[in-house]
Structure 1
Amino acid sequence: MDDLSVPPHMSPDEFRTYGHQLVDWVADYWTSLPQRRVRPADPPGAVAAKLPAGPPATGDGFASLVDDLDTIIAPGLTHWQHPRFFAYFPANTSGPSVLGDLVAAGLGVQGMLWATGPACTEVETVVLDWLADLLDLPEKFRSRSTGGGVIQDSASSATLVATLAALHRASGGDWRAEGTRRRYTVYTSTEGHSSIEKAARMAGIGDAGLRLIEVDEETLAMRPDRLRERIAADVAAGAVPALVVATVGTTSTTAVDPLPAIAEITREYGIWLHVDAAYAGSAAVCPELRAGQVGLEHADSYCFDPHKWLLTGFDCDAFWVADRAGLIQALSVLPEYLRNAATDSDAVIDYRDWQVPLGRRFRALKLWFVLRWYGAEGLRAHIRSHVALARDFAALVRADQRFEIVAPYPYALVVFRLRGAAPDDADRANAALLERLNADGGVYLSHTRVRGRYALRLAVGSPRTTAADVAAAWDAIRSAADAVAGGSSV
């Protein structure tokens, strides 16, 4: 047999040397962020044009990799960790999270079963219980009760898993059976996240089974009376209502749906209630910011994203169910090659049964690092500082008669716009303002539509954002408004 050449694996000593260099590179990157544009000015295709047509025949070496990070990758990024990134919702990270991810990547654990990663499984169970305690979630979501928590990759996956579990319960377990003729329906508000629509499609319900419920004109929250009317009409027409998704902190405006009234309806009809708090759930580490959780004791499932506002890098969604048995029954498929004594004993958790994929990374490690580094008080200080900065920004907006705030701001998102008598003219002016503002590169905001009107969103979320950054954003907004009012081209 011919000898085969040994691949050029990186040795532990080389990894140590280069790893230290990359940690320094990341630290220097974080330090350099205030001097960088928030978004690149280059047109689409600029990064791809700098890359070679194919991979090298032999390794390039570490130095050239770092050079390309400096000259190609970093200049071509939108910098989500920038202190003046105010668009969308935050996707912040932190030193402890990055280090936890580094360890998880180095361990390379595949935690699909307890047997394939006992510490991976048990740390996740404990950390999700810690987090439930920190947020003061209902007791039924703890692992010591009938429910428990699991880390999904995103709130979108959590919604899909909740949809599948809801269908399983609504059908008595036969919703996948061949020849089933039932029509199932899912309900959320017109402000609900697009992932709810996608989950309905993926679960086989389809767009025809999705019901978008009107919201209150003032609060932009779901109207329970409209929900009740729609459910009653569907039942009368022979459909089976399977799931209601209520939102605590909608993506557009952070509106909070009235959970107690919604829960009363879902209990009456026996419908699964899933609560999506992807962004706003982090705020519940602060006792004074838990108003949106009132009524959560009646929910069947709940999720939020630590990777948005709780200093834990993407991807990390915390998802809890009140009845883990129902979830497992909906998702479990056990082929012979995965059977093992621990699973057969029913004494362990196999998280493969709590999610769509089979495989799973050791995501709990970075969350564990974050919780241990910051502690409860450190996390509360982080959230409170951003809420205070958002309120300061709102005060600046209210003091300028050219602008108006168009939605409540219970957390760290402020939605506002230029005033205008003619709706179409005002929409064009606000769009022009945002285009000019973001083109400059000094700050980055996003937009939405509220009651059909174009509006700007400023979301505070970076751990590096200070009062000076918020003041600079406001100065840039005012300058852009002056230019738009003056008729300058954008």
Structure 2
Amino acid sequence: MKPADAKPPHMDHDTFRSLGHQAIDWIADYWQRLAERPVAPPVEPGSIRAQLPTAPPECGEDFPVLLSDLERIVLPGLLHWQHPRFFGYFPANASGPAVLAELLSAGLGIQGMNWNTSPACTEIEQQMLDWFVHLLGLPEHLRGGGVIQDTASSALLVALLTALHQASAGRTRDHGTGECGYRVYLTAETHSAARKAAVITGLGLRAMCEVATDADGAMDAVDLERHLRADRAAGLTPLMVVATRGTTSHLSFDPLEDIGPVCRRHGVWLHVDAAYAGVAAVCDELRWVNDGVRYADSYCTNPHKWLLTNFDCDLLWVAHPEVLVSALSVLPEYLRNSASESGRVTDYRHWQVPLGRRFRALKLWSVLHWYGAEGLRAHIRTGVRHAQLFADLVGADDRFTLVTPPALGLVTFRQTGTDEENRNLLQAINTEGTTFLTHSEKNGTFFLRFAAGGTLTEDHHVREAWRAVQNAIPRAQHLAGGSADALAE
């Protein structure tokens, strides 16, 4: 028999309400004090796991114990992506409205795989995607063809599966790809998700055809045409061109106005990946990021990068959704229902790889409710301004050079000197802890990346980041001299 004061098996409503307030307070306090923390954790591999018990608890513990463990174990072991001086990779925005909506979605606990399993989940998502056609200035024919994926990687995979289905007249549904000789065209700057999608679909890396780029890293449409003609002459089947509007390394923009007509002439699916840059088109002066999208068979962008909507939330549009549905539709008896059979509803399970799906549209709607279009534009413009501020600081120091002109929220730069000196500089910056940057290479030359756009970032954080770069120079020189301990002092 349980003791009289034993906890009930489930958290009651009053307890949930009380502890929920504590959790929200904890998040608010975390954000408020985040600038005081080091951005990157000074931890060794395995050190976090070593602090956890070797066996799970036999009896339940109170929720405040978890909050205590968060403070003691988890926070010291995090790279703080919401830190106002986190300038690595690309932004991974979180915001109050998005987080609250994520909580509401979790509390609702619905499963939105079919229209009938939660009609509002589907119809709100449809409306959000149509709203964004307007907000981003996308071609009107994409209305009704939008769906939320988790990431741009999944969007690319779905697009590739759809292109395979179309090119094979449906044969790949029953027989797979086999020794089919399909080809996928990309550049050295294309995101690695394209190669991974080829592996997942069974095409394999052998299907990849790398197209030449110009001096800025943008796809060469003339070289693309050459490859397409040569592959057809060799009996291969051109399947998809993956074009990028804003590559990860240094924001190259593949010229869709040149690539699109080539794809049309050859009947090749054109997928446009604008994961980072696409959302910038909420600003009229930045609509150029989506120039040429009218040629796209599929297009995606990520509000979870730079549009105040926490991870994960990718927006994918396809020009012909009926082909996507035909490619991915599998209908067991237990999912049959009258609404689906009426043909009047959208069942989004046919638009993605997994069956189940979360109510991601709720957080997108919450962000739009709170900020409105003007608030989103202001956030993008602040990121662009912060990048220009940092670029101006780099340009005023003759010890540094800009690798490429600042583009949107990204600045690429390096210290005058060798690649090794720049590697040491990056390590010194990140080890010091007040600022976090990442790196890439262009034409074999190592450089540092400063990606603005954080939700909490203000002008003074940008200037502090530049001071951290300057102050890291002598520490990097110590590292070059073999004094690794100097970086930890």
Q: Same fold (TM over 0.5)?
A: yes
1:322 positional shift: 0.8
Q: Work out the CA distance in 2 between the residues paired with 1:236 and 1:398.
A: 50
What is residue 445 of structure 1 aligned with on the other side?
437
Identify which of 396, 400, 404 aligns with 2:397.
400
Q: Work out the CA distance in 2 between the residues paired with 1:157 and 1:451.
A: 29
1:176 positional shift: 4.1
3-state SS of the aligned residue for 2:75? Answer: helix
3-state SS of the aligned residue for 1:175? Answer: helix
CA contact (8 A) 1:447 1:454 kept: yes
What is residue 160 of structure 2 aligned with on the other side?
163
CA contact (8 A) 2:173 2:327 kept: no
What is residue 298 of structure 1 aligned with on the other side?
295
Instruction: Rate the CA distance shift 1:55–1:181 in 2: closer, same or farther, 3 A.
Output: closer
Q: Work out the CA distance in 2 between the residues paired with 1:161 and 1:78.
A: 30
Amino acid in the other structure paired with 1:118: P
Amino acid in the other structure paired with 2:191: H
Q: Work out the CA distance in 2 between the residues paired with 1:32 and 1:181.
A: 57
Amino acid in the other structure paired with 2:213: V
3-state SS of the aligned residue for 2:412? Answer: strand
Correspondence 1:231-250 to 2 at 5 A: 231-250=228-247
CA contact (8 A) 1:188 1:211 kept: yes
CA contact (8 A) 2:280 2:289 kept: no
CA contact (8 A) 1:192 1:250 kept: yes
Correspondence 1:133-148 to 2 at 5 A: 133-143=134-144, 148=145
Identify which of 312, 317, 322 aligns with 2:314.
317
Q: Work out the CA distance in 1 between the residues paired with 2:143 and 2:175.
A: 36
Q: Work out the CA distance in 2 between the residues paired with 1:338 and 1:243.
A: 32
Q: Work out the CA distance in 1 between the residues paired with 2:223 and 2:134.
A: 34
What is residue 193 of structure 1 aligned with on the other side?
191
Q: Work out the CA distance in 2 between the residues paired with 1:200 and 1:262.
A: 21
Amino acid in the other structure paired with 1:377: E
CA contact (8 A) 1:193 1:250 kept: yes
Instruction: Rate the CA distance shift 1:417–1:343 in 2: closer, same or farther, 3 A.
Output: same
1:431 positional shift: 0.2
What is residue 427 of structure 1 aligned with on the other side?
419
Identify which of 338, 342, 346 aligns with 1:345.
342
What is residue 202 of structure 1 aligned with on the other side?
200
Larger deviation: 407-416 or 152-161?
A: 407-416
What is residue 276 of structure 1 aligned with on the other side?
273
CA contact (8 A) 2:274 2:300 kept: yes
What is residue 182 of structure 1 aligned with on the other side?
180
Identify which of 215, 223, 227 aligns with 2:213.
215
Correspondence 1:7-46 to 2 at 5 A: 8-46=9-47
Q: What are the Cα deviations for residues 240-276 of structure 1, in whole angstroms up to 9, with x where unaligned?
A: 1111110011010111110110001100001111100
Q: Work out the CA distance in 2 between the residues paired with 1:409 and 1:323.
A: 36
Amino acid in the other structure paired with 1:186: V
What is residue 423 of structure 1 aligned with on the other side?
none
Q: Work out the CA distance in 2 between the residues paired with 1:389 and 1:454.
A: 23
Q: Work out the CA distance in 1 between the residues paired with 2:31 and 2:261.
A: 48
CA contact (8 A) 2:242 2:271 kept: yes
1:208 positional shift: 0.5
What TM-score comes out, normalization by structure 1 length? 0.95
3-state SS of the aligned residue for 2:175? Answer: coil
Q: Work out the CA distance in 2 between the residues paired with 1:485 and 1:138.
A: 52
3-state SS of the aligned residue for 1:342? Answer: helix
1:181 positional shift: 4.4
Percentage of identical aligned residues: 54
3-state SS of the aligned residue for 1:302? Answer: strand
Structure 1: state its 5+ residue gaps.
421-425
CA contact (8 A) 1:253 1:409 kept: no
State the Cα RMSD in Å. Answer: 1.4
What is residue 455 of structure 1 aligned with on the other side?
447
Q: Work out the CA distance in 1 between the residues paired with 2:278 and 2:292.
A: 14
Amino acid in the other structure paired with 1:117: S
Matched, 1:132 2:113: no
Once superposed, which parts of structure 1, at least 4 consecutive aligned residues long, lie more than 4 Å away? 485-488
What is residue 102 of structure 1 aligned with on the other side?
103
3-state SS of the aligned residue for 1:268? Answer: helix
Q: Work out the CA distance in 2 between the residues paired with 1:363 and 1:197.
A: 27
3-state SS of the aligned residue for 1:22? Answer: helix
1:484 positional shift: 3.5
Amino acid in the other structure paired with 2:188: T
Q: Work out the CA distance in 1 between the residues paired with 2:393 and 2:233.
A: 51
1:46 positional shift: 1.5
What is residue 59 of structure 2 aligned with on the other side?
58
CA contact (8 A) 2:427 2:476 kept: no
Matched, 1:363 2:360: yes
Q: What are the Cα deviations for residues 397-421 of structure 1, in whole angstroms up to 9, with x where unaligned?
A: 112122111123321011111123x
What is residue 81 of structure 2 aligned with on the other side?
80
3-state SS of the aligned residue for 1:208? Answer: helix
What is residue 329 of structure 1 aligned with on the other side?
326
Aligned residues: 476
Q: Work out the CA distance in 1 between the residues paired with 2:173 and 2:202.
A: 9
Q: What are the Cα deviations for residues 408-437 of structure 1, in whole angstroms up to 9, with x where unaligned?
A: 3321011111123xxxxx110000000111
Structure 2: state its 5+ residue gaps.
1-5, 485-489
Q: Work out the CA distance in 1 between the residues paired with 2:25 and 2:415.
A: 43
Q: Work out the CA distance in 1 between the residues paired with 2:259 and 2:399.
A: 38
CA contact (8 A) 1:254 1:409 kept: no
Q: What are the Cα deviations for residues 349-406 of structure 1, in whole angstroms up to 9, with x where unaligned?
A: 0000000000000000000000110000000000001101101111111121221111
Instruction: Rate the CA distance shift 1:485–1:48 in 2: closer, same or farther, 3 A.
Output: closer
Q: Work out the CA distance in 2 between the residues paired with 1:329 and 1:408.
A: 44
Larger deviation: 206-215 or 103-112?
A: 206-215
CA contact (8 A) 1:97 1:312 kept: yes
1:177 positional shift: 4.2
What is residue 114 of structure 1 aligned with on the other side?
115
CA contact (8 A) 2:424 2:477 kept: no
What is residue 466 of structure 1 aligned with on the other side?
458
Q: What are the Cα deviations for residues 305-340 of structure 1, in whole angstroms up to 9, with x where unaligned?
A: 110000001010000111110110111111111000
Matched, 1:260 2:257: yes
What is residue 468 of structure 2 aligned with on the other side?
476
Q: Work out the CA distance in 1 between the residues paired with 2:186 and 2:58.
A: 53
1:171 positional shift: 1.3
Amino acid in the other structure paired with 2:194: I
